[in-house]
Structure 1
Amino acid sequence: MTAGVDLGPKTQAIGSDEDVVRVRQLVRTVAVAAKLSLVDQTKLVTAASELARNTLIYGGGGTAEVTVVEDGRRRGVRIVFADSGPGIADLDLALTDGYTTGGGLGLGLSGSRRLVDDFDIQTAPGEGTRITVTKWSR
């Protein structure tokens, strides 16, 4: 454990570009406290940035909850992004490299999935989206 750093769950609202920056900062702070390597910190912060931006742009805003987790042999950081937006109509298509509805590169979901160890998405049209990602220490 890192002295002086609370490793309990922390929630950041996502309602503006500034909040996306705050998510990045929070994830970096928690990843350092959880003793993830610099490479793993960078991968997790990059994925979190993409997913926070998606939460803002496509979900109309939401939250990111960042938690240090342990499975008995290793420590990691779990982030849950949740929104009450329109949901994702075709999840398989949305997870395809190059697919975009917003004019970007189309690497947000698929790229984020590659950067983390565990990736779970729950979504349905009209019911919002909940994405859970975890990066484990090596």
Structure 2
Amino acid sequence: MSGAPRGPELLEITANAGVVQARQLVRTLAQECRFSLVEQTKLITAASELARNTLVHGGGTMTALLVEERGRRGVRLVFTDQGPGIADVDLALTDGWTSGSGMGLGLSGSKRLVDDFVLDTATGQGTTVTITKWVR
């Protein structure tokens, strides 16, 4: 990461265009952070799945930022939706489980593709998913 630190960037995800913008921003940040092509693809795929979930569950936001912690650098993404929340988190993280018409790989697949995954949800209050991918 070179130059001045980049502050958090906030994207609205209220239409398909927001999902596309999220992917583009994540690609840019991953390249700035100098991820390998494979690691870029993993992060972009996770971001795409979580952005799509955000859109499907009432819309919301993605906050993206470059982070440095304990000598490591990476990209952190925070997805917040206005949906109904997740009643059974363990079930929602099971491959194949879906709350709608998806393939059921969004949350569980995204979790496998990143280094840190935090899910914060409450029934009736929406969901926030924070993911971080570190440069190897």
Give the TM bin, normalised by the shorter chain.
over 0.9
Structure 1: which amino acid aligns with 2:75?
Answer: V
Aligned residue for 1:24?
23
Measured after TM superposition, the shift of residue 104 of structure 1 is: 1.8
Tell me the TM-score normalised to structure 1 length: 0.94
Does structure 2 retain, via aligned residues, the 8 Å contact 1:7–1:30? no
- 4+ runs of 1 displaced by more than 6 Å? none
Q: How does 1:1-138 map to 2 (within 5 A)?
A: 1-2=1-2, 7-58=6-57, 60-138=58-136
SS of 1:86's partner is coil
Measured after TM superposition, the shift of residue 101 of structure 1 is: 2.0
Residue identity over aligned pairs, in percent, reads 62
SS of 1:66's partner is strand
Aligned residues: 136
Tell me the TM-score normalised to structure 2 length: 0.95
CA distance in 2, matches of 1:95, 1:72: 29
Structure 1: which amino acid aligns with 2:60?
Answer: G
- Deviations, residues 69-88 of structure 1 (Å, cap 9, x unaligned): 01132100000001222111
Q: Is there any run of 5+ residues in structure 2 with no aligned partner, and where? A: none
SS of 1:11's partner is strand
CA distance in 1, matches of 2:16, 2:46: 16
SS of 1:135's partner is strand
Measured after TM superposition, the shift of residue 6 of structure 1 is: 6.2
Structure 2: which amino acid aligns with 1:15?
Answer: T
